[in-house]
Structure 1
Amino acid sequence: MRAALLVLFCLASPSFGQGTAEAAAEAARRLEAAAAAMDRAEGASDRIAALTETVRAYEDGLSLMREGLRRAAVERARIEAELAADREEIARLLGVLQAIGTAEGPALLLHPSGPLGTIRAGMLLADVTPGLQAEAEALRRRLQALAEIEAIQQGAEATLREGLASAQAARAELAAAAADRTALPRRYTEDPVATALLIASSDTLEAFAAGLGQTIEEELGPAPAPAEPAGNLPLPVRGRILRHPGEADAAGVVRPGLVIATEPRALVTTPVTATLRFRGPLLDYGTVVLLEPAPGTLFLFAGLAQAFGEAGEVLPAGAPVGLMGGETPDADAILSGSLPGGTASGGAGLTETLYLEVRDAEGPVDPVLWFALEGRGSP
């Protein structure tokens, strides 16, 4: 795998910059780490933790690799556009170079007006030749860069396909392992009838959150140590913040939480030890996970396709709580640069959205009090 990925070091040419080469090296390292983690997960005592590490490693490595390929595709398009725009000039340049290269030596030394004309022609040729050489060298560099990019895309294809397939397998294994999870401590069990009645009678998230305590059937164990709002928690998913609290969406809807754009099938984890209070479909939020990191405080994650766990379980920090929806783009779409959800600053493929809201007994709380929002989670 590493040998195939190292072709991305061609990006270290001056036209791309050293940063892309470093990203390529990091992508190779992350994908190698993911493959090793997948092997370790087969015999790990904590299989869920090992598979979570595997999925994260694949997400990191594939994200870096996609960014390198995106830059390559942008550079290729730029060079091809330049060559197309300069087609006539390049044709004239090649014609002149061909004429000079095929002309016989003695003919270049004679001029119809005699020795003086020959001298003047020679002086003109001496002035023109360096310019022609510079233009020819610039053309050679552009063609060489184009050939390097083509080699990058061809060399990365097999590794990219392998990485995508392995990531999908790791997610499937993680979902299966989470469904069979029995070792987690529990605070209580859920009363399914009370939960169903609460959902049916709630027309807002506020109403559901206020009545959530009624769904507890019995207390089984102590609560985990309560977390404190220090503003340093990682976001629960890799992605890019689309909207902050109070910002209206395209339909004019304003919500008090964060909207995070993610890649399809991205892994969602709990940022801190918390009790799982609820998982399932809720109102117009889609599949919802409610975590309680401290008494009276709730983290709401909405928009998942799959959610793991049972109400009452105490989840350690970093434990998987679900997967985002959508279809993972295939290698052809990534290699061709035709991923949906792209922006001018990159981020192609961020087609899913996770809604994150923090609530306490008084209502919504600014997520910045709990989460580190600057420089986090960008793919």
Structure 2
Amino acid sequence: MRAPILNLLLIASCAGASLFAEESLFAEESLAQAQTAAPAPQTAAISPDAIKQREQELEAARASKKSAEEAQAKLKAEITSLGQDRTQLNQQLIDTAANVRTVETKIDEAEARLKTLNGREQQARTSLDSRRADIVEVLAALQRAGRRTPPALLVRPEDALQSLRTAMLLGAVVPELRGRAEKIAGELGELVTLRKSIASERDQLASDRDRIRSDQTRLAALVDERQRQQSSREKDLDAENSRAITLSKQVGDLQGLIAKMEQDLQSAAKAAEKAAEAAKQAEAKEAANAAANAKPGPAAFKDRSRTSPAILFASAKGLLPLPVNGNKIRDFGGSDGLGGLQKGISLATKPGSQVTTPCDGWVVYAGPFRSYGQLLILNAGGGYHVLIAGMERISVNIGQFVLTGEPVATMGSTSQVASILATNASQPVLYVEFRKDGTPIDPGPWWAANEGEKVRG
């Protein structure tokens, strides 16, 4: 009966010893690092092993640099092959932006799982630390029992009595020791399982981070190419942007800014004119579809070559994706934190998150504006405007037509919107507002049905 318990406790003691050994090893490593940090005599020579290790590190760095250069050259060749094909470029932009947002979500989920696993590991460690005395006591009791040999039964009657008493004592003690040993071994087994899960999650997280860096590099190159093509079509682009910033300083509210842009700025005025024409054409098309009982759906956005909204903005209810991955912290009509009511929604995001357009539309303003930080305004046609604020960098220009899901901006590391800065200064927040004929409206009905508090993109 003792053998299974001894085996069980042996496993437990080995696992426990490994835990305690880690702490000792950490202390030894810290001491070694401290000794290494101390000034070494100038006469000390570098060991051959150290030289070999440095050569290997240098070779690995060279290989990594070469791989990065080859990837960059391949990406450049791919983008060059796109040429002036706007449809293919749009497809690449939207697909890559979608990949980035998908990996952003996976990283968020992995970090949440790791946080939970680390918490459980800490609890297991704390439990085992509190039971060290119990572990020592059980191991010592079994060791003593193992060393005490039972007396021979056929020597003297007193020996038989002593043997019987020993058997009775073991019969009472062994079940308790078994229970305690099994509990300890169970906790150690759970800790080992947790460690394996944590290692697996960390490997997956590292892989996802490598992937998102690659996708972000590709996306940045595609955005640069899109803007290069846009700049070649708009020769006076820089002058227009400078004039837009000047005009923005002459108005005090958003409605005034929209009106000023679409009235005084050439590219914004053209965008507004195109939006109005597109709305009329879309109305006629939708009237024909209504006669045929055809309702617009997600398939309407598949055409990447379109140069006007796929459907009327009013008909896009339940179809639009949220523009960034994050958590909704303020909803339309709620408190804005300054004694007023929220005219849009606020989404708390991760630093550096990719921002995409929630709808088709023309850019009528892109730049800083008062307390909104970097502000992007889209004319979606039919009297609708979409305002997006709080980004660190905008990558589109005034007058440009953008498609649903197209990358247009990047979040910074802190909040840029003044009304949110006071309560959420530690993380970036994106503000989104819909307007109809100048009046803020609830954007809730427009978001896709699968978009919840946790933005999936």
Same fold (TM over 0.5): yes
The secondary structure found in structure 2 opposite 1:182 is helix
Q: 2:342 matched to which residue of 1?
A: 255
Instruction: Tell me what 2:305 maps to.
Output: none
Flag the 1:167–1:352 CA change in 2: closer, same or farther, 3 A: farther
- Residue deviations 1:184-214 (CA, integer Å, cap 9, x gap): 999xx99668745642321111322343431
CA contact (8 A) 1:235 1:377 kept: no
From 163, 179, 188, the equivalent of 1:140 is 188
Equivalent in 352, 357, 373 of residue 270 of structure 1: 357
Counterpart amino acid of 2:173? L
> Matched residues in 1 for 2:375 and 2:446: separation?
19
Equivalent pair of 2:365/2:376 in contact (CA under 8 Å):
yes
Task: Indicate conservation of the 8 Å contact 1:245/1:258, yes or no.
Answer: yes
Per-residue CA shift, 1:296-326, capped at 9, x if unaligned? 1100001122223332222222222222222
Alignment-derived partner of residue 81 in structure 1:
123
User: Residue 401 of structure 2 corresponds to which residue in structure 1?
Assistant: 314
| 1:50 aligned residue (88, 92, 117) | 92
Partners of 2:150 and 2:105 in 1: how far apart?
Answer: 58
1:100 shift after superposition: 1.3
The aligned counterpart of 1:282 is 369
Q: Which residue number in structure 1 is paired with residue 149 of structure 2?
A: 107
Name the CA distance, whole Å, in 2 between partners of 1:376 and 1:150: 27
1:249-287 deviation digits (Å, cap 9, x = unpaired)? 444453310111122222222222212221111121111
Q: Is the 8 A contact 1:243 1:260 kept in 2?
A: yes
Amino acid at match of 1:285: Y
How far is 1:97 from its partner?
A: 2.9
Report if aligned partners of 1:195, 1:215 keep a CA contact under 8 Å in 2: no
SS of equivalent residue, structure 1 residue 325: coil
Question: How many Å apart are 1:160 and its aligned residue?
Answer: 4.7
Name the CA shift for 1:274/1:161 in 2 (closer, same or farther; >3 Å): closer
**3-state SS in 1 of match to 2:379:** strand
Alignment RMSD (CA, Å): 3.6
Aligned to 2:57: none
Partner of 1:305: 392
Tell me which moved more, 190-199 or 200-209: 190-199
2:443 aligned with 1:356: no
- 1:134-164 Cα shifts (integer Å, max 9, x gaps): 2133123233124314533663465255235
- Once structures 1 and 2 are overlaid, which stretch shifts more, 101-110 or 50-59? 101-110
Task: Give the CA deviation at 1:371.
Answer: 2.4
Aligned to 1:169: 217
The Cα shift of 1:183 comes to 10
Q: 1:251 to 1:85 in 2, by over 3 A?
A: farther
Equivalent of 2:452 in 354, 375, 379: 375
**Amino acid in the other structure paired with 1:200:** K
- 1:16-27 to structure 2, matched below 5 A, reads none
Q: Distance in 1 between matches of 2:151 and 2:121?
A: 39
Amino acid corresponding to residue 132 of structure 2 in structure 1: I
Shift, 1:79, TM fit? 2.5
Instruction: Find the aligned partners of 2:428 and 2:366 in 1 and give their Cα distance.
Output: 19
SS in structure 1 opposite 2:334?
Answer: coil
State the AA in 1 paired with 2:442: D
- Is contact 2:363–2:377 with CA below 8 Å preserved after alignment? yes
Distance in 2, Cα, partners of 1:295 & 1:180: 30
Determine if the alignment matches structure 1 residue 240 to structure 2 residue 316.
no
Give runs of aligned pairs for residues 144-159 of structure 1, distance below 5 A.
144-152=192-200, 155-156=203-204, 158-159=206-207
* SS of corresponding position for 2:314: coil
Deviates more, 1:362-371 or 1:166-175: 166-175
Structure-2 change in CA distance of 1:325 and 1:208 (3 Å): same
The corresponding residue for 1:179 is: 227
Give the Cα separation in 1 of the matches to 2:123 and 2:150. 36
Q: Is the 1:290–1:300 contact (alpha carbons within 8 Å) kept by the matching residues of 2?
A: yes
Q: In the aligned structure 2, how far is the partner of 1:185 from the partner of 1:269?
A: 23
User: For the pair shown, which has the larger CA radius of gyration, 1 or 2?
Assistant: 2
Deviation string 1:224-270 (CA, Å, 9 cap, x unpaired) is 35322524311112221110022224444533101111222222222
Distance in structure 2 (CA, Å) of the matches to 1:314 and 1:75: 46
- AA paired with 1:235? L
SS in 2 for 1:234: coil
- Which residue of 2 is the match for residue 131 of structure 1? 179
Q: Tell me which residue corresponds to 2:138.
A: 96
Structure whose residues are more often strand by fraction: 1
Letter of the aligned partner of 1:375 in structure 2? G
Structure ranking higher in helix proportion:
2
Partner of 1:343: none
Q: Which moved more, 1:68-77 or 1:220-229?
A: 220-229
Q: Give the whole-Å Cα distance in 2 for the aligned partners of 1:287 and 1:109.
A: 89
Post-superposition offset of 1:361: 1.5
Q: Is the 8 A contact 2:321 2:405 kept in 1?
A: no
User: Is contact 1:185–1:314 with CA below 8 Å preserved after alignment?
Assistant: no
The equivalent residue for 2:253 is: 204
Q: TM-score, normalised by structure 2?
A: 0.60
* CA–CA distance in structure 1, aligned partners of residues 147 and 190 of structure 2: 31
